[in-house]
């Protein structure tokens, strides 16, 4: 999915906006695209083939960031993980604040 950040006077927004009517995988793909846009990281979300006692479990996902992957994760855990990737990338590129004397 391709997303763009539209800058306007007084703020901005992402196009296309998140649509709550989308299925879970599409919403997570959208979130991954936003994090990619903001961080430059290569991110993918896929449905996982997760089985418990021989029964495939629905609603679980894998996240691949660069050459690292994690899963199976629930929808909420996947969304939270993507938020963590975004925060971590942002903090890693921040310039350190000047140290204050004690």
pLDDT in tens, 72-94: 999 999 999 999 999 999 999 88
User: What is the model's pTM?
Assistant: 0.87
- In this predicted structure, the answer to whether residue 98 has a pLDDT above a threshold of 80 is no
Residue 69's φ and ψ, nearest 5 degrees, are: -140, 155
Q: What percent of the chain has pLDDT over 90?
A: 85
Task: Calculate mean pLDDT across residues 28-52.
Answer: 96
Residue 100's φ and ψ, nearest 5 degrees, are: -100, 140
Q: Kindly report the average pLDDT of the chain as a whole number.
A: 93
pLDDT at 95: 76
pLDDT at 89: 94
Domain ranges (residues) in the chain? 4-92
């Amino acid at each position: 999915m391709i997303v763009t950040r539209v800058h306007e006077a007084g703020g901005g927004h992402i196009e296309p906006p998140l649509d709550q009517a989308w299925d879970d995988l599409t919403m997570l793909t959208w979130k991954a695209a936003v994090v990619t846009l903001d961080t430059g990281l290569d991110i993918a979300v896929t449905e996982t083939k997760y089985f418990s006692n021989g029964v495939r479990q629905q609603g679980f996902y894998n996240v691949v960031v660069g050459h690292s992957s994690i899963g199976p994760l629930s929808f909420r855990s996947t969304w939270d993980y993507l938020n963590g990737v975004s925060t971590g990338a942002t903090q890693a590129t921040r310039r350190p604040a000047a140290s204050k004397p004690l």
